[in-house]
A and B are shown apart, each in its own frame.
Chain A
Amino acid sequence: MYWKKCPASTFIRRRRRSISSSTRASAWSWWDHVRPASKDPIVGVTEAFLADPNPKRINLGVGAYRDDEGKPVVLQCVRDAEAKIAGSEFLESISAAISSKLVEESLKLVYGKDSNVITDGRFAGIQALSGTGACRLFAEFQKRFYPESQIYLPDPTWSNHHNIWRDAHVPRRTFRYYNPSTKGLNFAALMDDVKNAPDSSFFLLHPCAHNPTGVDPTKEQWREISHQFKVKNHFPFFDMAYQGFASGDFDIDAKAIRIFLEDGHLIGCAQSFAKNMGLYGHRVGCLSVLCSDHKQAVGVKSQLQQIARAMYGSPPVHGLLLVSTILSDSDIKSLWLREMKAMANRIKSNRSALRDSLENLGSPLNWEHITNQVGMFCFSGLTPDQVNQLARKFHIYMTQDGRISMAGVTSGNVSYLANAINQVTNYSQENLNLCNTSF
């Protein structure tokens, strides 16, 4: 519990006692019962990193792409788009048109440009505040129209998923996903949980580059999951935050969604342009909910817009203009696809470099998962204690669950990182006298 609910009346009585004149001597506050919120586990990592003056520090926390010097990157396609829109006087009146175009282009990425979902207009799509905003809109929508429903989240999942559905007052359950002993997918358990959930349950799925584990189902496994979802009539909600980052190819990375579409599921999907376009701070994403027909889609869209209007009004235009420009200008779009591939490739080579370094150091542990896992993150298997040691002794920062953002690895720091990991794991090894297991 982050807070204690106290009736306001308690504070009225206290306040009365303390007021004798218009200037109060003591600093009594309405907010005395407000405790400090605990730090967000992911954002808190960056805060700790920034507070560390050591030059060797490495931030492997937030999933934000870095270049080989560890610097943030603004893609050239984005710079081109910035130049193109510069000075254009944005008229509120064209907002709706641009927004619709953006939504359509975004959905083509996910559903396929020839998808009949798009040509038939069977989608309710709105621009959202990146992936978080898209998930939150859906959670609120789910609560409003299925007030008794729950959400099944994979175990583990991005920590903010729990916050989102909780704040939307939708009870959360988890389904088994990650197998710590194989550092891979616990497919049998996943299918069991899907089967045992009550019919028509809402499930959140990561279509590719699972966060935090980097473990994705194979194509065949996705087919089985889709089939079972049909049997159980479950609602699949996809959080697509890393399209392009898993394989470098947008269509390949969307295969899970395409399989579900082929099977006739009417899915929901949150998309983010934070990572794959490097537009983190602009908060651009999209929420789509597939419907039986266009008319229903119009109704659903209007409800989503209403939820958005009471939360923040409308989404910020600058990011919208950038994404819209990139997706609709064929030269800029091609450049983007190439730059995306380059980012994905750099991360793959980081994975190989880290694994090789650890193996070359003679670490007795199995590090295959570093290259088996996919996308921006590696679920290292490091324990919280080891994670803390890395921070304290080596100024290397990651989340407590041992998730490493591979984008933070560079050719300059990979040896240092491997050495540090090797040391903290060897030390534990000696102490526990274990070889391959509970690690």
Chain B
Amino acid sequence: MASLLSVSLTSASPSPSASLSTQESHKGKLKLRNSGLSFTNEKINPFANEKSSGRISMVAAVNASRFDGIAMAPPDPILGVSEAFKADTSELKLNLGVGAYRTEELQPYVLNVVKKVENLMLERGENKEYLPIEGLAAFNKVTAELLFGADNPVIKEQKVATVQGLSGTGSLRLAAALIERYFPEAKVLISSPTWGNHKNIFNDARVPWSEYRYYDPKTVGLDFEGMIADIKAAPEGSFVLLHGCAHNPTGIDPIPEQWEKIADLIQEKNHIPFFDVAYQGFASGSLDADAASVRLFAARGMELFVAQSYSKNLGLYSERIGAMNVVCTSAGAAARVKSQLKRIARPMYSNPPIHGARIVANVVGDPALFNEWKAEMEMMAGRIKNVRQKLYDSLCAKDKSGKDWSFILEQIGMFSFTGLNQTQSENMTNKWHVYMTKDGRISLAGLSLAKCEYLADAIIDSFHNVS
């Protein structure tokens, strides 16, 4: 299990009387060594010297902080891309970093249905009281129905514990805390690669994790045998983190037959499936089709975790709206699990934010608005499919090496794993001003039809001319 941060200390800030020299780092603990003082215990007491002399120096007190030596945290690899992009002055620059949808004009997009609902909400002038700890009831109802289907037995029989969470991240964190509390020896198996923040979430929640093979660089596709072997080899009762659709970062999803085999294996090994559904509707354009994997598992009577996010599919990135769903074998178990999720949420943030929840409840709960949303979703997913096609066509037209670029069309969702390695990805940025993550992931949501040919040139150059 990855341990708590080991803090590496930089030289302390200057201060008049408490002269702290450069320190050594110690895993999980800060140790300051000062030439003038000797510390007999591990507690930091920069003022110990003054205390023993009997006088308190106010000046020293102002300047010396007990957080001296706390280093800068490493920049987030994904968000760091956007920052670098902003700093680039080239007209050719292209931001294929963060997975936020952009229009063909490469502008952010607020869905019309969201604007409508926000106006409705403004007119109604609703109050701003605290939500219950588990969130807005109307939201919890529609989100579970959207995921499982309103007629699904797990819904009808009240076997799902649904709790509103702060988007996908917050929902995952609730589940991680539940795992840590009730399955303290269990591991979470995560795909290699996976969304970068998954590891941070489980680390901070003190849940051990290990990886299962997923991406095959040779085929730029799924390493299904490796995946099965690694899930099989894991200790019984592990939690298997699966991307419901539109795998992030690769864009590679198992096909239905493969999902069946994964489900077979999970049942055989008594593992618990843990779905992260961040792109329902975005993968294929159909909300139901994109929930097929989750529904397949639920139909087998399996107990599972499902985290949901409305950041992408409703464009509500900054409103932080999502949910954690725990499917149980009985309504009684679901009620108990829900109570414990609440107990975890209360000391984290007390109750979740209302605005995003109301938007989703209004959109999904109103048939006319729901249909409008579905149309906008199809439009967004459609644009991405078109861009994939154009990129593929451009690559085939320009690349004479005979390399098979069809993985661009087979991958699904907002992201594509290009197969470029770190050096090649750096070339994309340094030579072509194309910003992407170092693992070779590009966000197609940030690509316009107009830029496909330029991107194709960049990819071909990086692939063939850089190693």
Contact = CB atoms under 8 A, between A and B. Distances in A.
A230 B30 CA distance: 22
B40 to A, nearest CB: 13
Given A92-B318, A145-B67, A200-B45, A43 B133 contact: yes
A27 interface: yes
Contacts of B151: none
Given A92-B317, A312-B173, A319 B347 contact: no
Q: Which among B98, B170, B236 has the greatest number of chain A C-beta atoms within 10 A? A: B236
B73 interface: yes
Interface in B297-329: 300-301, 303, 317-320, 326, 328-329
Contact of B318 (A95, A306, A309): A95
Interface in B78-131: 82, 86, 98, 100, 108, 110, 115, 118-119, 122, 125, 127-131
A265 B182 contact: no
A22 B299 CA distance: 11
Given A43-B346, A130-B349, A319-B355, A296 B319 contact: no
Nearest to B44: A200
A299 B318 contact: no
Contacts of A310: 169, 173, 197, 200-201, 203-205
Contacts of A33: 182
Interface stretch (B209-217, B336-344, B415-423, B446-454): B336-344
Nearest to A32: B333
A306 B237 CA distance: 30
B185 A296 contact: no
A90 interface: yes
Contacts of B165: 312
Nearest to B41: A148
B335 A36 contact: yes
Contacts of A278: 128
B309 to A, nearest CB: 10
A37 B133 contact: no
Contact of A312 (B56, B61, B110, B167): B167
A29 interface: yes
Nearest to B178: A34
A393 interface: no
A83 B122 contact: yes
A276 to B, nearest CB: 13
A130 B350 contact: yes
Interface string A170-193: 000000000000000000000000
A64 interface: yes
A27 B329 CA distance: 5
Contacts of B225: none
B386 interface: no
Contacts of B186: 8
A412 interface: no
Contact of B182 (A31, A148, A200): A31
B70 A303 contact: yes
Given A280-B128, A282-B353, A167 B73 contact: no
Nearest to B352: A283
Contacts of B361: none
B258 interface: no
Given A314-B318, A318-B353, A64 B182 contact: no
A309 to B, nearest CB: 7
B348 interface: yes
Q: Which among B82, B337, B346 has the greatest number of chain A C-beta atoms within 10 A? A: B346
Contacts of B244: none
A439 B366 CA distance: 54
Contacts of A64: 129-130
B132 interface: yes
Interface string A32-52: 111111001001000100000
User: A interface, how many residues as a size bin?
Assistant: 35 or more
B65 A296 contact: yes
A102 to B, nearest CB: 13
Contacts of B42: 148
Given A34-B336, A136-B347, A233 B51 contact: yes
B56 A291 contact: no
A329 B61 CA distance: 37
Interface in A74-107: 74, 78-79, 82-83, 86-87, 89-93, 95
A122 to B, nearest CB: 9
B301 A24 contact: yes
Contacts of B379: none
Q: Which among B133, B177, B320, B356 has the greatest number of chain A C-beta atoms within 10 A? A: B320
B64 interface: yes
B234 to A, nearest CB: 12
B440 to A, nearest CB: 23
Interface in B195-209: 197, 200-201, 203-205
Contacts of A28: 329
Nearest to B47: A233
A64 B128 CA distance: 10
Contacts of B71: 299
A8 B134 CA distance: 27
A223 interface: no
A35 B348 CA distance: 20
Given A3-B182, A164-B347, A23 B63 contact: no
Given A163-B347, A167-B348, A316 B166 contact: yes
Contacts of A146: 30, 44, 66
A78 B128 contact: yes
Contacts of B233: none
A3 B320 CA distance: 30
Contacts of B59: 264
B353 A316 contact: yes
B118 A313 contact: no
B13 A296 contact: yes
Contacts of B397: none
Interface in A236-292: 263-266, 274, 278-283, 289-292
A32 B334 CA distance: 10
Contacts of B272: 30
Q: Which among B165, B203, B204 has the greatest number of chain A C-beta atoms within 10 A? A: B204
Contacts of A312: 165-167, 169-170, 173, 320, 348-349
A263 B186 CA distance: 49
Contacts of A235: 66
B72 A299 contact: yes
B328 A29 contact: yes
B319 A317 contact: yes
A12 interface: yes
A12 B237 CA distance: 7
Contacts of A280: 128-130
A36 B339 contact: yes
Q: Which among B98, B128, B165, B317 has the greatest number of chain A C-beta atoms within 10 A? A: B128
A302 interface: yes
Given A31-B337, A312-B166, A145 B86 contact: no
Given A83-B122, A144-B4, A167-B348, A313 B320 contact: yes
Contacts of A9: 185, 236-237
Q: Which 5 A-B pairs have the closest CB atoms?
A: A317-B318, A281-B354, A163-B347, A312-B166, A37-B343
26 contacts: A12-B236, A27-B330, A34-B182, A43-B351, A86-B119, A86-B122, A87-B118, A93-B82, A129-B353, A132-B346, A140-B204, A145-B70, A160-B350, A167-B177, A167-B344, A200-B45, A263-B58, A266-B62, A266-B65, A290-B65, A306-B200, A311-B169, A311-B348, A313-B167, A316-B353, A318-B355
Given A8-B186, A8-B236, A29-B328, 5 more contacts: A37-B339, A309-B76, A309-B200, A312-B169, A316-B166
Interface of B: 4-5, 7, 10, 13, 15, 28-30, 42-48, 51, 56, 58-59, 61-68, 70-73, 76, 82, 86, 98, 100, 108, 110, 115, 118-119, 122, 125, 127-133, 165-170, 173, 177, 181-186, 197, 200-201, 203-205, 236-237, 267, 270, 272, 300-301, 303, 317-320, 326, 328-330, 333, 335-337, 339-340, 342-344, 346-356
